Amino acid sequence: MRVLTIPLPDALTVSALSHIVLDVTYQDAKKRSLLDIPETRDEVFKTVFGGSLVQKAIQGGKIQVVLF
């Protein structure tokens, strides 16, 4: 199995990240927010907050999580 690695611009790396902003006020047609839908909520926590680099940066105060 071959893994293709694509270098990311510095702006897309965790080291350049300062805030993660989640709009939890938006509601879909069924009046559900981002955190009300199990598939969406689980995917956000798995992909956004699941990375060890992101977790360490949040715990270290380098990244702030903003919910509005």
Examine residue 34 and state whether it is found in any structural domain, yes or no.
yes
Examine residue 1 and state whether it is found in any structural domain, yes or no.
no
Query: How far is CA 27 from each of CA 5, 18, 30, 37, 49, rounded to the nearest angstrom?
Result: 36, 26, 7, 10, 22
Predicted pLDDT at 5: 60
Examine residue 3 and state whether it is found in any structural domain, yes or no.
no
Examine residue 54 and state whether it is found in any structural domain, yes or no.
yes
More confident residue, 68 or 3: 68
Examine residue 4 and state whether it is found in any structural domain, yes or no.
no
* The model's pTM: 0.66
Examine residue 29 and state whether it is found in any structural domain, yes or no.
yes
Predicted pLDDT at 16: 75
The tens digit of pLDDT for each residue in 1-60 reads 566 565 655 555 677 788 888 888 989 899 999 889 888 888 888 888 888 888 888 899
Predicted pLDDT at 1: 58
Name residue 65's amino acid.
V
Examine residue 41 and state whether it is found in any structural domain, yes or no.
yes
Number of domains in the chain: 1
The parent domain of residue 59 ranges over: 10-67
Handedness of CA 45, 15, 10, 24 (dihedral sign): positive
